[in-house]
Structure 1
């Protein structure tokens, strides 16, 4: 088996205070990984420049380290194929090892670019211009500490929760959803280990293999493989400034025999578009006529910046045709890993059964903290403060784009969420732009993650990078775009 994935070495760096030269430390670390079977034969090493950046050393140090490994026969250069772990001496005695199965499971691996972003986001020296989470200083650390301290004085839930999740949390969520117009009894809510788990449970427990999901194009769903790994196909539909265009929905649904429509009506990821009330009504009418269920992703609906969005699709649901996904990850705490899905009781029970077979329930401690967070009104107060901070950052990013990207790209002002969807005036090779930006200390989310054919878009986030990082990052990004587009 050939292994082509790049290696993640961000968890180790050579020690500059060690008496052993840096190149020798690197060579020794690589040798242990190869001979121990962690890096199997055929695995491709990152380019020398990327290795130097990851390990915080000069390129000449990498050259010296790789030279030692080449002399030992542990790595080999291939014409046009970079440097790989050699077959001759690598992984002795590992025949039949777990490395032989690394690409054989039914779950698709992440896109290589997504894998790279997931690793690189933990390198503190990078300016993260695309990250889809609030910056640590925007999270409610002090309030959450107070809640945890108060809970620690009482009896803690150290056992499993019931299949639907904590009743206390489901009651709190029922009240929270009611404020947005969604009527969902606690028995109609399933607690998830983050909203992403909802996609996995639905694809495994509700959708026939080979079925088709309709969705916006571009979409966050194209960057993950929850549906595709279950043998489900994706069919993208176009958008305009008001959201998903309903005109082609009937033809696409009939042609593909679609099983459901997945949509992000409030502050869409990655475009930031807010679906207006008229489009939502039209969508509900058309899907009802087609008998097409809807999976509504409400991850960003609390993060409005100018005015509250129209009621969710689930608030208009009179027939049990909408499943509504929500999460605390985009507002209160990604680390709590608390999400939920609301829908018809029979469907929720089916998903709960699948969840019990996968992880036996979300963290009992996290559920208790989330329940207290909602009951005490902390969520509403925190969201008000978070909206103010995000509004300031959004306005700063728009100002910076006007200053540096005029004539290079076009964009719209998002009314909420985290993202500005930047459209370049000239197409550029987005993987090349990603690598060039990385070399300059910028981490980007390029449009081809959300639409494979895209060569013009970037998802810029104002939620994570600090104001000073945004100022440096946008100026540097504009310089790179100008250079790559032949405009300088």
Structure 2
């Protein structure tokens, strides 16, 4: 059940009990809350409605008396009917069973909790993987949409592969990274996540295996799993993903492709070495395993530029390259791209047209303007300085408050510090304790279900004051929990 946004008016002449009862009846009668849906606990409902638990008990008893709900010990309260359902000759559809039968798997529960908590403006977000609102270029973005008579903006659909002007500009931008890609081999997508969705449904058979680094961002989403794929992790070392077992694993599994984030890996921050990149290309060609290169963090280097992308070493069309503006410019633009062989790009473009008929023309216009006018390069210089300052500030805080309880490596770019706890503490419990104190963290189990030692900390979103207050409080929670376990 989704978070309840409505709240009763406490200064109303209508009692809280009556307001909540009327609200819940309306939800049921209009089919927004369907038969079979389970309600949150009484305590949770009281918290969401901001009332006493006794008020909720009275509301549920009234709705149960009306025949709309039923409470069973051990299974909670469920909706069992609605007013028009009581009169209908045949019962309405059981939407809960439809939801459970859908092919797209729901997020793991902790990710759903993180998504809800991120909507709370009072939460200190120590794990959020995006730029802080104060770092986003609002002024220049407003200037982007100030037109003169020489400019033209299409408000219609674009061609299947996306705006021709943007694809040409992206082609020139990628050439600076050593990637030679014509506009015909570029598909504009609505962010990196859509790129993965298109690849999952457009290129692979059900039952295929996706190799990836362990830990991996892929484990925090269900794009490939919902399409019937299996994920198989490969170990990481300081040079990136290891692949000495790929040949053997390929024989044991229905190998599909290998997914990797070589630049400032999510969540570990590791940068794949140039030697490892060249070796990986050679192995992929020998074993005939295509590579998805996710390079959404590539422009966010803080010390020195990373080695050239894998795609720059690919002369046989083995690598599908994903880029995006979501991490480096603005998540709200929802613009990215896939680069690959023309036959693949054409096929994916056809699928995209069947799903959304093209990415936003306004966003495509904005990104083309930022790239072609050099604004993006200027912005990157400033944002690198800001992120470098935040990273170093966070590192000093960790030295001061975490040296005795954790280890970490200073990242060379991106957003993340992969913190390894020295103490044996359940990261799930730590997540819950921190959340109660208004601190949102991303535990290691999000990226590897067996990892109970790591936290992914982000220095890109929280303010300096929030970073300091949040990390001090988090250290205190960890130490308090460690003492509790010891004694």
Question: Which 5+ residue runs of structure 1 have no aligned equivalent?
Answer: 1-5
Alignment root-mean-square deviation, CA:
2.2
The aligned residue for residue 61 of structure 2 is 70
> CA distance change for structure 1 residues 462 and 23 in 2, over 3 Å: closer, same or farther?
farther
Q: Deviations over 1:165-195 (max 9, x none)?
A: 1010001101111111111111110000111
Shift in CA distance, 111/347, structure 1 to aligned 2, threshold 3 Å? same
Out of 337, 345, 348, the position equivalent to 2:345 is 348
Name the CA shift for 1:151/1:300 in 2 (closer, same or farther; >3 Å): farther
**Separation in 1, partners of 2:399, 2:72:** 46
Give the Cα–Cα distance (whole angstroms) in 2 for the partners of residues 196 and 173 of structure 1. Answer: 18
Structure 2 unaligned blocks of 5 or more: none
CA deviation digits over 1:414-433, x for unaligned, max 9?
11111111112233333322
Aligned counterpart for 1:189 among listed residues 169, 186, 202: 186
Residue 54 (structure 1) shift: 4.3
Secondary structure of residue in 2 paired with 1:324? strand
Measured against aligned partners, the alpha-carbon deviations of 1:317-337 in whole angstroms (never above 9, x if no partner) come to 011100000000001111111
1:240 paired to 2:234: no
Moved more, 279-288 or 259-268: 279-288
* Equivalent residues in 2 for 1:187-336, closer than 5 Å: 187-336=184-333
The corresponding residue for 1:3 is: none
Superposed, which structure 2 residues align to 1:410-425 within 5 Å? 410-425=407-422
SS at match of 1:149: coil
Q: Tell me if 1:104 matches 2:101.
A: yes
* Distance change >3 Å, CA 477–CA 49, structure 1 → 2: farther
Q: Structure 1 length normalisation: TM-score?
A: 0.92
Q: Does 1:40 align with 2:34?
A: yes
**1:181-225 CA-partner distances (Å, limit 9, x unpaired):** 111111110000111111111111111121111001111111111
Mean Cα deviation higher: 262-271 or 17-26: 17-26
Deviates further, 231-240 or 431-440: 431-440
Aligned to 2:3: 8
| Cα displacement string for residues 64-101 of structure 1 (whole angstroms, at most 9, x for unaligned residues) | 223321343155555454x4324366984562154442
Where does residue 119 of structure 1 map in the other structure? 116
SS of the residue corresponding to residue 260 of structure 1 reads: strand
In the alignment, the residues of structure 2 paired with residue 118 and residue 326 of structure 1 have an alpha-carbon distance, to the nearest angstrom, of: 24
Whether the aligned pair in 2 keeps the contact of 1:31 and 1:69 (CA below 8 Å) is no
Shift, 1:303, TM fit: 0.4
C-alpha change, 1:183 and 1:472, in structure 2 (3 Å) is same
Q: Secondary structure at the match of 1:142?
A: helix
Residues of 1 paired with 2:83 and 2:437: CA distance? Answer: 34
Partner-residue secondary structure (3-state), 1:390: helix
- In structure 2, relative to structure 1, the CA distance for the partners of 1:201 and 1:124 (3 Å cut) is same
Instruction: Say if 2:379 is the partner of 1:382.
Output: yes
- Structure 1 residues 50 and 204, CA, compared in 2 at 3 Å: closer, same or farther? same
* Distance in 2, Cα, partners of 1:457 & 1:24: 47
Q: Please tell me whether the aligned partners of residues 17 and 58 of structure 2 are also in contact (alpha carbons under 8 angstroms).
A: no
**Structure 1 residue 35: Cα displacement:** 4.3
Question: How many matched pairs?
Answer: 478
Give the equivalent residue in structure 2 for 1:87. Answer: 80
Task: Please give the TM-score of this superposition, normalised by the length of structure 2.
Answer: 0.92
